[in-house]
Structure formats: C-alpha cells, structure tokens
Structure 1
Amino acid sequence: MGGEQLAELQKMGFDPAMIQRAMQQLQGAMASAGEGGISWDAATTQALHIANKDGAGITAADRSAADDAFTLAALWLGEATTISDLPGPGVTMTRGGWVEATLPVWQELAEPVATSIADAFTTALQEQSPPEMQQMIAGAGRVMRTIGGSLFAAQLGTVVGNLSTEVVSGGDVGIPLLPDGQAAVVPQNYAQLAKDLEIPDDQFALYIATRELAHARLFRHARWLRLHVLSQVSDFARGVRVDTGALEELAGRFDPQHPEELREALESGALLPERSESQQAALARLETTLATIEGWVDVVTAQATTRLPAADRIAETVRRRRAVGGPAEQALGTLVGLELRPRRIREAASMWRAITDAVGVDARDELWDSPDLVPTAADIDDPSALIARLEAHARGEEPAQDEFDDALARLLSGEDIGGAPSDGPADEDGPDTNSSDTEGPDTDGPDERPV
C-alpha cells in the first residue's frame, strides 16, 4: 500500500499503522492460500494442535490389543457375512493420525461452503465500503476473499480436531473418510469410553474392531458406494447459500485485525439461512443412504458378536452416540449446515434383520452388488414387497410384473403404449392403416391421428 493511500486513510480517520499491520497479516494468509484463496494449511495446523495437545500416543500394549481384536473380529465376521475380508489388516491410529488421514475428505466436502462464504464476504465488504475507499479496494478482491476463506478453514480445523477426540474408528462418523479397504481404530478414545461404561477394555475393543471391519468391508465390496455417499454430501454442500443480510451487516463493521465477530458468526451458523427445498431433498436422500449402511453394519456386527457378553450394552451405546452425536459433530452441523446423524437406523436395522430371516445372509448381501438393488426409503418403511421379490427369486420364480414392466414389454415387442401393434411408420402417400379410424376422418372435427 502506497504512501498516498495511507495518507488518504489517515484523513478518513483510520490509523495507518493499524492498516499496515492488517495488510501484513492478510499477505501472510494469501501466501499460504490455495488457488481458490483459501488456506487449508490453517485447518491442518489447528486440527493437529487440538488432536495432539494431550501428548498421548499409542502404547505397544494398545497396538497389540487392537491387532488381536482385528484378528478375532475378522474370523467372527466370516460367519456373519459373505462379503469378503479386507486385503490388509486393520490399523491403530492416534488422534493426530486420524486427522491427517481424514482431513483431505473434510476439505473436499467443506470447500463448496467455504467458497460460498468467502465469495459472499468479498462482495458484502466491497459493497459496504465508503466511496472514498472503492478505488483502493477495487483490486483487493482476493485479499477480502482470503479473510473469509481462511477463517472458515480455521473453524473447520477446530471441528475436525475436536472430532478426533471423540471418534473411536474410521467409520464412526458414518461417511467414508478412509480409502476403501482400510479399517482403523483410535484406542485413545474408546479406552475412555469403555472405562466410563465399566466395560472390560478387551470386549469394547473387540466390538469396535468388528463394527469397523464390517463398515470397511462393505465399502470395499460395493465399489460404487463411496462415490455415491460423497456425491450426496457434495450435492447438499453446493446448495448452501449465505444469509447476505446478516453478512452485509457484519461486513459494515468488520475489523480485519479483530475477526472474532466473523469467527463467532461462523461458529453459531448465523450466516447460513434455513435449508432450501433442494437441500432438504438432498439431505433426505443422504439420511436414507446412511441409515441403510448403518443398519446393515448393526445387524452384521450383532450376528458376529453373539459370543461377546457385553455386546448388547456396547451396541446400545453406539446407537445412542450415532443418534445424538458428540459436541464436535454438532459443531460440524453448525459450520456447514449438515447433520450426519441418520434418524432411521433402527428401522433400517429391522429391515435388514427381516431380510436375513426371510432369505438368508447370501441373498441379503447380494443387494449391495448394484445401486439398483439396494433397499429404498419405501423398503425401510415396509420391507414386505422387497422380501416377497427376494423369496420368489430364491424359488426360481419370475417376479410379478408391475405397470412399468408391462409398458416396457409392449415397447420391446413393437407395440405402442396404447397396446396396439406397431408395424412401422405410416405410409407417407396414404392413410395410416394402423389407425383405428379406417373409414375416413372424423367429420365432427379435425383428424387427430398421429402423422
């Protein structure tokens, strides 16, 4: 910033030294910002600071116990599902390791929201600036965008860092944060949870390992599932729009040296208006998908851990944690407007149990072979029709056709939708002999036969 511009600011009542310091801070943020003007390094730094602040790591005993749990869990799952084992063993992670492994996915999912907030902040701040400053800030769009984006990234880092102190495994949040085929547990977190519940550590570790392996096996088997879930989350995030009225009011009094007010607005969710209809629809689809996944994992884990004395108590604890969510998960919902707590896990689990009782494990697990086979929200409501089709297939019977099947059969056989046979296009030099009107046009009105 040149001397003339600083002099102008001084005439307007601004402290030039304060402006210079603010610009230096912004330049530092820009230096670490990515192409989109958002410094994700801030998210990583903040998340790791929170994850590693207690200095605790994984002891040799923790690692050995987790390895033993994964080994036995894999054997038990072999009796509960036909979906094959993972190519490699499950691993133990520190909280910091969980952050480093999952943060790229969090960034990918949050980037549409961060971009929306950063763009809106840039526009609002420029519109709120007095006329005397318009020329000076005309070329500072990227600087302004960096403020909002970097603050959002830091808040995301706080949320992910706090999540690392709550999660017990890679699939604990529900969405696929780890690469397909990888299973992981976080002994630092489930050891404390087991202590609070007065459940032996080895039983709790074995249950968590079984559940994590079931989750990881499913995503590795259904190769399409990871992209399906993440696409639904992205569909929701891309629909996020900022409350421009609240942001313009905030921008009018924003002080770059004291961004606490903007940070508080991000934390409280005040900048995100109520969900649109498209977002509500996207959220409903995501909730159904997550409930279907979690319900299957619940049923398979229950079948695999029947020998575990405390299995029922641990299962109920896991269900309650997933239904309510921890403080960090709630903070994530506030930050990006997205709640990852499917409300219909119990109903989905009941559906999977009914399917298992009716047609067995093999037919149940084959439903994950294709997205077209996976149960729908209607099947969760009432699985009887789905079970009837599966039972008929098991007997070698053709499934009963519905109206769509009948229409498709007529189309493939050369009939039109009305049911009349179609011998090809009408003769261009004469009347259409396939028409029901073979005695001439209707004298009471225009001839409405197709051409």
Structure 2
Amino acid sequence: MSSTPANNDDDTPQDPLSEMLAKLMGEGGMEGFDPSELAKAAGLPSDPAVLAQMFSQVQSMMTNSSDTPVNWELAHDAARKAAAGDDPSVTAAQSREVDEALRLAEMWLDPYTELAATGIMGRAWSRAEWVEETLGTWQRLTEPVANSIAFAISTAMNEQLPEEMKSMMGGAASMMQNMGGALFGLQLGAAVGELAKEVVGSTDIGIPLADLQMALLPANVKTFGEGLGVPEQEILLFLALREAAHARLFVQVPWLRGHLLGTIETYARGIHIDMSRIEDLAQNLDPSNPEAMQAALSEGVFMPARTPEQDAALAKLETALALVEGWVDEVTFSAATNLPSAPAIRETIRRRRATGGPAEHAFGSLVGLELRPRRLREAAALWSSLREERGITGRDAIWAHPDLLPTSADLDDAAGFSARRSAADASESDVDAALAKLLDGGFDDLPQETDNLPDDQQTPEDPDAPDHSEPKD
C-alpha cells in the first residue's frame, strides 16, 4: 500500500487506510476487488460467495446511520432474526380469543380493585410484533450501557493498533467506533429476540415495555401451558387477568412507569465497564465471525463491584418491582376464583418470575441487570394484609403517590406496616402543626426565661425599679 495520499473527486486528500476501507465498505462493496487475490493475500476462504457474505456482514457493522454510538438498526434486525424462528402469524381466531379473554378479565377485575378499567383494546401479537412494539423501550433502558460499551470497545481497539498505523487511521476512526456500537447492537438484538420467545404479554417482565398497550402472544401462551395439565382456556384467562391488572396499574397510576424506568436508567448509568475484558475482545476480534463476537459479549463485560448509588438504585428497583408484581399477583388471584386451576397457574408464574428464563439471564449478563421481583411472595402477602385491614379502597390508595409506597423494611414485616405508617404520620402532623404555628407568629407570646441572665440583661418588672447597671463614662 502506497503511503502517498490519494485524491478523491474534489481533490481532498484521504489517508490510504480510510480510502481502502471506504471502497470496501461503500455501496460498491466488492467492486474493484478480485476475491481470489484478496483471499490469497489475507489468508481468507477462497470461495467468492463466502467472501461476499463476509464483507456484507462487516459492511453492515461498520456503517451506522443513527446519531448515537450504537447501531440500533442492526439491533432491530438481529432481534427480528432471533424471533423469526417458529413464529406463526396470528390468526383471526386467535385474535378473537385474546380479545374476548381480555374483555372478560376486565369484568372479573372490577370488584377487586379501585383502579378503573383502561378501555384499551386487547391485541394478539406474534413474536415479531412484540419486538417491534417493545424495542424502543429496550433502547431507552440500555442506551447508557450501550454508549459506554461502544466507547470502550472503540478505545480498546484503537489502543491495540501499532503506533505507525494510528497516524493512518484518519476517517477510519469512526468506523472503529461503529464496530463497538455494532457489537452491542447485535448482542442486544439477539437477547430481545430470544425474550420474544419466552414472554406471554406486553408486561410479562413487570414493566410496561409497550406504552398504553394490552396484548398476549398466543404462541407463547400455548408453550407456557405445555406440561401443566391445565385446560388451555383457564391458562389464557389467568394470563389475561394478569395482563389486564398490569395495564390498570400502569395506566391509572401515571407516575409508576416513569418511576420504574427512571430507576433502571439511574442504575445503568453507573455500570462500570471491565476494560480488561474489552481489551481481550479487541485483541481477538475477527470481523468475519460476528457469532464469536456475540458470544464474547454474552459472557458479560462489567465490573462486579457496584457503587453506593447503584446499590441504592438496585434496592429501590427490586422493591418497586416486587410491589408491582405482588399487587398484580394478589389482585389476579382474587379475581380468578372461577378458575379451578388458578392456584397451580399462580405458583407456576411465581416460580417462573423468581428464576427467570434463559433469555432473561442473557439480557441480565449483557446489561448487568436482571429484572426479577425477588420478593414477590412477601409483597403479595403485604397487599393481602392491607386489603384485610383497610379494604380494597384503602389498599389501592397507597398507589396515589410514590412516597406512600411500602419500603423493603415493610416487606420484612407486613403486619407492622400500618402501625409504622401511623406513627410516621403522627410525627409529621406534629411537625407540620408546630411549623404552621411558628409561621403564624404563635410563639411570640411565650414567656422568656430570664432568671439565669446577668443583672444588666434582666427585664425589669417595675418601670420605676432602680437601674443597677454600671454608669457609663
């Protein structure tokens, strides 16, 4: 390769590496390259079809039309590809069954919660449709981590270059960053696509991935019921109750969605990237083998230690997820009295949420966070206790403001929640009353304690009393 800069059409000089990569990755693709000669020089497979496929993969990784470091188009394509296997289209009969099940679920829920029905039309989704409807939320949740990984990978790859090569990088440096963003996009897309094979609805992981939506995935509902020995109609109705209960909670408690997503974003922004793992990945990077790169990322690239801020955010998130899932669990089971198999289905869901599926674990490894309500049973017991003590109206009134929500300590002692809350309310009332009196000037008439003051600072009771102060010069 000549070291003399080549000129383009407008006589702007380009460095040789940038020019070569631009030709290779541009719209011309393989034009101008002899595949057999290129394979011979680089030690690559000599089959032209294999070479064309390889360079097509590399080209898609090197290009990024978005204004963020992560290639979200690649993430979308990877998610669709992962979800595509055995993903039959939803039939008209399935759509009708899901719509009827969700309508019936809304009626069954009415006597068991003060939160009103949403009026949202129920929908039946294929796995690909679930990907399309939820990928925007996945992007929001993972973008802080994704940007950090893209920057770390591009930095590590640049550091691996010999010094004499760095001066030649020029415009190719952005391609290196695109590679980092592509790596994360591929892995995130694959994880989301695999999740699409496990979830049964739009809120199956405890957060509303699709805003103002209520949907079930018939193919996954069928898979969920395999081996349970429970009638399919009962499974569909129970899962419809859960989906409708989630929808009521997130629609009628408008601050809740932002509360959960904001807590996840706070946690994600504090994740530390393990640079040693990134450097190892960069050293062994083979652009012709995207599957190997995805496997490397799936092992996790994060430092195990968390900051105090992250610990606080994680504790807050786990408690919030448990409260959401516990409320849905308690309300759903109460409304499912007409289903003989409700206890068995409830226990299956509880265990499923507690352990998580393979795709959920993969996602957890990728972003350093598992969205599981570890204390679901304790939270369900707390909501049940509050219903018995305060009634349905009093229980659901706790969702009026985030400051009213039970804490992790309350999950430890559900029976003592009301006593602790009453004591806290009484203390706050005393403080509020004292503050109001102070602001109204109500403390001006209090007697001043002057017995211990020096004689010259005493307040005379008799205006005719003699003045014992020292005479002034």
- TM-score by structure 2 length? 0.80
- 1:204 lines up with 2:228 in the alignment: no
Distance 1:355 1:7 in 2: 68
Q: 1:33·1:146 contact (CA, 8 Å) conserved in 2?
A: no
| SS of structure 2 residue aligned to 1:298 | helix
Q: 1:30·1:39 contact (CA, 8 Å) conserved in 2?
A: no
| SS of structure 2 residue aligned to 1:218 | helix
1:368-389 residue CA offsets vs partner (Å, 9 max, x unmatched)? 1111222222222223443247
Change (3 A) 1:185 1:440: farther
Aligned 1:228-239 pairs, distance under 5 A: 228-239=259-270
Aligned 1:122-133 pairs, distance under 5 A: 122-133=154-165
Aligned 1:57-206 pairs, distance under 5 A: 57-180=89-212, 182-206=213-237
Aligned 1:315-334 pairs, distance under 5 A: 315-334=346-365
Change (3 A) 1:377 1:162: same
Distance 2:382 2:317 in 1: 18
| SS of structure 2 residue aligned to 1:307 | coil
Distance 1:441 1:137 in 2: 85
Residue correspondences, number: 419
- Shift of residue 24 of structure 1? 8.0
Aligned 1:46-445 pairs, distance under 5 A: 46-180=78-212, 182-259=213-290, 261-388=292-419, 401-402=426-427, 405-414=429-438, 421=443, 438-439=453-454
Change (3 A) 1:84 1:228: same
Aligned to 1:446: none
Distance 1:316 1:94 in 2: 26
Change (3 A) 1:44 1:266: same
Distance 2:347 2:159 in 1: 53
- Shift of residue 407 of structure 1? 4.1
Q: Which amino acid aligns with 1:92?
A: A
Q: 2:78·2:193 contact (CA, 8 Å) conserved in 1?
A: yes
Q: 1:94·1:188 contact (CA, 8 Å) conserved in 2?
A: yes
Distance 1:400 1:137 in 2: 65
1:258-292 residue CA offsets vs partner (Å, 9 max, x unmatched)? 45554322111145443333222211110000000
Aligned to 2:10: none
Unaligned stretches of 5+ in structure 1?
393-397, 424-432, 443-451
Distance 1:44 1:163 in 2: 13
Q: Which amino acid aligns with 2:402?
A: P
Change (3 A) 1:88 1:438: same
Q: Which amino acid aligns with 1:135?
A: S
- Shift of residue 409 of structure 1? 3.5
Distance 1:127 1:294 in 2: 46
1:127-182 residue CA offsets vs partner (Å, 9 max, x unmatched)? 222111121125433211111111111111111111111101111111110113x2
Change (3 A) 1:24 1:75: closer
Q: Which amino acid aligns with 2:375?
A: R
1:15-34 residue CA offsets vs partner (Å, 9 max, x unmatched)? 99759999986654454431
Q: 2:105·2:237 contact (CA, 8 Å) conserved in 1?
A: yes
Q: 1:167·1:189 contact (CA, 8 Å) conserved in 2?
A: yes
- TM-score by structure 1 length? 0.84
- Shift of residue 214 of structure 1? 0.3
Identical positions, percent:
42
Q: Which amino acid aligns with 1:96?
A: A
- Shift of residue 80 of structure 1? 0.9
- Comparing 352-361 with 131-140, greater Cα deviation is found at 131-140
Change (3 A) 1:42 1:79: same
Change (3 A) 1:81 1:252: same
Q: Which amino acid aligns with 1:438?
A: L
Change (3 A) 1:436 1:145: farther
Distance 1:437 1:45 in 2: 82
Change (3 A) 1:370 1:381: same
Q: 2:301·2:366 contact (CA, 8 Å) conserved in 1?
A: no
Q: 1:26·1:143 contact (CA, 8 Å) conserved in 2?
A: no
Unaligned stretches of 5+ in structure 2?
5-14, 21-37, 45-50, 458-473
Distance 1:196 1:117 in 2: 41
- Comparing 365-374 with 309-318, greater Cα deviation is found at 365-374
Q: 2:58·2:288 contact (CA, 8 Å) conserved in 1?
A: no
1:107-137 residue CA offsets vs partner (Å, 9 max, x unmatched)? 1111111110111112222222211112112
- Shift of residue 49 of structure 1? 1.7
Distance 1:412 1:330 in 2: 53
Q: 1:77·1:301 contact (CA, 8 Å) conserved in 2?
A: yes
Change (3 A) 1:320 1:16: same
Distance 2:61 2:444 in 1: 69
Distance 2:424 2:296 in 1: 55
Q: Which amino acid aligns with 2:99?
A: D
Q: Among residues 72, 78, 81, which one is paired with 1:40 in the alignment?
A: 72
Q: Which amino acid aligns with 1:284?
A: A
Q: Which amino acid aligns with 2:386?
A: I
- Shift of residue 335 of structure 1? 0.5
| SS of structure 2 residue aligned to 1:401 | helix
| SS of structure 1 residue aligned to 2:119 | coil
| SS of structure 1 residue aligned to 2:403 | coil
| SS of structure 1 residue aligned to 2:204 | coil
